[in-house]
Structure 1
Amino acid sequence: MNSDILNFWKGHDPGRIAFEHDGYKITYNNLAGNIAKRVTYFQQIGIREFDHVALSISDQMDYIEMFLALWCINATIIPIDFQISPSNFWKIIKESDTHYLITNNIKYFNEIKRYDFQNHNLKKVVLIGENKIEVTDVNFDENKISWLAEQKNTENSGFFILFTSGTSGDSKGVVLKKESFINNVHKVISYTELQDTDILLMTLPLSYSFALSQVCAHLIVGGKIILSVNNVYNSLTLFDIKEKKVTNYSATPYFYETLVKELEAKKEAMDVGNLRFFMNAGGYINPTIIEEIVKRFSSVTFYNNYGQTEACPRISYNRFDINTTDFKGVGKPLAGVEVKILGDDGMEVENNTIGEIVYKSEDLMLGYYKKNVLDSDQYFLSGDLGYISNSNLVIVGRKDSILKINGRKVYKNYIENSIFELPYVSNVKLKKERHSIYGEYFCAYVVPKDSDDNHTIIDKIYEFCKKNFNSYERPKKIVICKEIGLSSNKKVQLRL
């Protein structure tokens, strides 16, 4: 399996376009040559198999070529979002036992002497400039070995480490086996029926496990990947999809929510040309949104995936089209994956009973870096809530999306979905907040659609909640927002 990504260009037409980026087209033959040159250079500066190499590159094409070159060397790759804060950046460098840092951010290159790297692994910092490459040596501890090297069950296929904040905000290094990752990619190729004629439009950050999975899937089948330079997540994306003859597009729920609201306002059909399918790239999505998408784009399939970075990343999927009548759920688990629902007592519950989703997967991560190595036979606690109905896994939300008010459970997504469907609401997100006397409650952050003044909209929402929710379910505060946007890793941010 590991060789699939190392030799992806073999068997493909060498003249076929592999990537299109910022006006440039790169054939599979060009890509292979560029990667080979980078492999040679990386080896010349000392990078060897199993060395930990952090990669923070803002140029998408450079990033992919370097990522694949490091994969060929079988280095342990640590992709880092180039938009994270300097303090978080250096924290990851130290926690991941990085030996080599490759970046095109001159600030990181210049700041290296400001940080305390006592008892660390960092050997060299490599600055990738427009016309030259600079290398700085760092005084590392020659006797210090990485946490991975200390483990007895490491594999020759190698690893990469993705740092994710999750919902807690605490950075965790998810150690993924390359072989398991590629195994999971092949499952995606199978259920989406990817072929060499497929064209992917990529707007997700490439340090994101889902984005890496999609890129690798298209490389393996010999497809084409368009790396978008437009940082927009609305209906304008549809013009790119049509113009560039894109056959599949993946996005977070935020994009689909925004798209549906914009299309409702425009009251006009949008042509998406050759598009075969949309795909949810992670997170809970309102079933009403999926239904609206397939109704408006009747020739397009919608894949609703469930996954986590820890799962490499897919766990299950569901397929929806114009003939679908029930838009709930993320389907049955993929081959090699088992899913159960546990109650508060840790025991498995009956069908149609909400509890925590736990899963066992052949593609599960090795563990969290410097924290644990998982038993391949154990069930992993997802932190997500859901239930199983007629073999269909239905996601309810994160465990922290539940509040207990005087012993009664309140589900965030149920309330959020209901408010979202109001004709005068453009977008809404609920957040848990705490009152010093009354405890936890939900605050509804709302982006209005019409021109009513804020007080009128707030009054309308309060009245709707009073009629439709139990008293303990109602948001206790409503705040009007200008926009609900996305952070660099495509997570929701509120802009008041």
Structure 2
Amino acid sequence: MAWDTVATARGPDPAREETTVQDLALPMWLTAAGAQRHGAHRIAMRDENGSMTYAELAEAMAGVGAGLLETGLRPGDVVVTAMEPSIPHVVALLGAMRAGMIAAPLGTRLTSSEAVAYLEHLQPAAVVTDHAHADLAHTLGHRVIDLPEADASTGDRLAPLRRAPVDLPAPGENDPAIIFPTGGTTGAPKGAVHTHRTLWLWLNTCAHGNPRVPTDVELCFSPFFHITLGTNLFTPLLAGGEVWIQRRFDAGAALEAIDRGATRLMGAPTMFTALRAHPQFDSVDRSGVTAIRYGSTPSTGEFIHDLMRDFPNARIRAGFGATEFGSVIGFDHEDLLAGRVSGIGRPLPGVTVRVLTGDGQEAGPGEVGELVVSCPWQTIGYYGRREDTAETYRCDGVHVGDLATRDADGWLSIVGRSKEMIISGGENVFPREVETVLLDHPAVADVIVYGVPDEFWGERVEAAVVPAGGAIVEAEQLRDHCRARLAGFKIPKAVRTIESIPLTPNNKPDRRAVRAAALTVTG
């Protein structure tokens, strides 16, 4: 892969032939489609301080693009955003892309030292920040553009960036568009790069695979540095819907939005559990919710049955993906109705999935192997990291380290990650397999399994359990529960109770943090 072409790209190719076919670039699509397809004066987004129509969005993108250029930035520069979810944040990202720059939402849950290490490879030309994250932004060692406090109007919040719109050249569809940070579950985050084309293809797949209509109202409470920015915000805009943006997940605020008419929800199972536990849940009219998509962590059959009961008019879909390739596998409402509530489903149209053994051969039904994914919308590599790119992006597909099985019907299940696998007494233990069994115990609300050093076993299996409401977790009872379904070497040798599972910046269970806490207690 000629990775240097990504690291040194500087905007559209002037030699590229003009064509009457619209390039696949999200800012250009929104500019044209907002006026022609969606209706220029329809609402595109709302946040707690205002709203923006599709016509206003097109004008704001061009104005912010012009403003960034006026500050001395150039096409191909990396523009980092350290901001809360908001309309100005969306416009800052799209405006940078409209001007041919590379947008890069920063994981604002990172510490300053972690963020500095991540940005070392991106070398941003500027960091755009709001009041909430200004302290972090000013410690990063890069030029900072400050926006006003969040309680100002949308126009005022964008004023430091925005200028009168000018006729900007369209970015090339093969130019880098946006960089998403990986979750950093096995080290510092890496920046996965979407071109305008791969980003558009991914969003278009999401729009059709989980069908949307212009009357949809999507509730967005996810951080923008996660790929849910694509599935939960950019996709409904591409499809002409309306997005309600909340700064962070809050069960009470989310329920109020549902009561006011939000029709589509997306989040991790823990978020839906929090909605159900809120005292106002039973009094909220949930009949208008027509679609729910969940992912990020494993779920149980009980969780899915509760979801179907509590949102009776919603089509429910589970998705599996990664920062490197977005959404690639899933199962649909009909699968749930048929009783298939475990695993991750089947590949989406256009996705090739292989499960490979250590010698590179296809694994047989039920045999564990590495999940290798290839699709037209996968990212093109890690920005500024040639060796990491070559290790992950190979000729046969993208290798992110997930371990999976596939049954005779093609149904896929994730059993863990290669770097999370526990080797206990010479036997391989996959944490996800043990977690699935423990989640079936009525005393367990959530669980995470990990390995710790052991003089006899090499590593021993342990579990940290979040008790179900009012339940008392007895370690021996849980081990008895496991014995009928797991080999002896897979059964946790120690069980701890914790209040909640810590999450990585990308809302994945933070196995490293739980393991480190266990070592602190025992060592």
Asked if 1:99 corresponds to 2:125, the answer is yes
Look up the match of 1:9: 34
Look up the match of 1:427: 446
Deviation at 1:186, TM superposition (A): 0.5
**Match for residue 334 of structure 1 among 338, 344, 348:** 348
**Match for residue 494 of structure 2 among 477, 484, 491:** 477
- Aligned pair count reads 462
The higher relative CO (CA closer than 8 Å, separation ≥ 6) is in 2
Asked if 1:52 corresponds to 2:68, the answer is no
- Cα distance in structure 2, aligned partners of 1:317 and 1:449: 28
Deviation at 1:392, TM superposition (A): 2.5
Counting only pairs closer than 5 Å after superposition, residues 223-262 of structure 1 correspond to structure 2 as: 223-229=241-247, 231-232=249-250, 236=252, 239-256=255-272, 262=277
Does 428-437 or 286-295 show the bigger shift? 286-295
Once the two structures are superposed, residues 187-229 of structure 1 have per-residue CA deviations (whole angstroms, 9 ceiling, x without a partner) of: 1111222111111101110111222333111111210001124
Distance 1:216 1:468, change over 3 A: closer
**Match for residue 315 of structure 1 among 323, 328, 331:** 328
- Cα distance in structure 2, aligned partners of 1:452 and 1:244: 35
Describe the SS at the equivalent of 2:64.
Answer: helix
- Cα distance in structure 2, aligned partners of 1:359 and 1:394: 14
Look up the match of 1:76: 102
Alpha-carbon contact 2:223-2:248 (below 8 Å) kept = no
TM-score for the superposition, normalised by structure 1: 0.83
- Structure 2, unmatched stretches of 5+, are 1-23, 150-155, 162-171, 519-523
Deviation at 1:41, TM superposition (A): 1.4
Does 435-444 or 41-50 show the bigger shift? 435-444
Amino acid at match of 1:20: R
Counting only pairs closer than 5 Å after superposition, residues 83-482 of structure 1 correspond to structure 2 as: 83-104=109-130, 105-108=133-136, 110-111=138-139, 115=141, 124-130=143-149, 156-229=174-247, 231-232=249-250, 236=252, 239-256=255-272, 262=277, 271-311=285-325, 313-321=326-334, 323-372=337-386, 377-389=395-407, 390-449=409-468, 451=470, 457-466=474-483, 469-482=486-499
Alpha-carbon contact 1:362-1:376 (below 8 Å) kept = no
Once the two structures are superposed, residues 117-172 of structure 1 have per-residue CA deviations (whole angstroms, 9 ceiling, x without a partner) of: xxxxx5x432223479789xxxxxxxxxxxxxxxxxx9743332222244202321
Look up the match of 2:169: none
Does 354-363 or 484-493 show the bigger shift? 484-493
Alpha-carbon contact 1:316-1:330 (below 8 Å) kept = yes
Once the two structures are superposed, residues 447-466 of structure 1 have per-residue CA deviations (whole angstroms, 9 ceiling, x without a partner) of: 22354666xx3343244345
- Cα distance in structure 1, aligned partners of 2:455 and 2:272: 37
Look up the match of 1:31: 57
Distance 1:230 1:51, change over 3 A: closer
Describe the SS at the equivalent of 2:352.
Answer: strand
Distance 1:165 1:487, change over 3 A: closer
- Cα distance in structure 2, aligned partners of 1:100 and 1:283: 34
Alpha-carbon contact 2:321-2:327 (below 8 Å) kept = yes
Distance 1:51 1:266, change over 3 A: closer
Once the two structures are superposed, residues 40-80 of structure 1 have per-residue CA deviations (whole angstroms, 9 ceiling, x without a partner) of: 21121122211111111225222111011111111011210
Alpha-carbon contact 2:255-2:275 (below 8 Å) kept = no
- Cα distance in structure 2, aligned partners of 1:488 and 1:408: 31
Alpha-carbon contact 1:158-1:178 (below 8 Å) kept = yes
Alpha-carbon contact 2:296-2:507 (below 8 Å) kept = no
Look up the match of 1:150: none
Amino acid at match of 1:80: L
Superposed CA RMSD? 3.1
Distance 1:244 1:270, change over 3 A: closer
- Cα distance in structure 2, aligned partners of 1:195 and 1:88: 40
TM-score for the superposition, normalised by structure 2: 0.79
- Cα distance in structure 2, aligned partners of 1:31 and 1:43: 18
- Cα distance in structure 2, aligned partners of 1:355 and 1:83: 33
Look up the match of 1:142: none
Describe the SS at the equivalent of 1:66.
Answer: helix
Does 211-220 or 327-336 show the bigger shift? 327-336
Deviation at 1:332, TM superposition (A): 3.1
Give me the identity figure in percent: 19
Q: Name the structure with the higher strand share.
A: 1
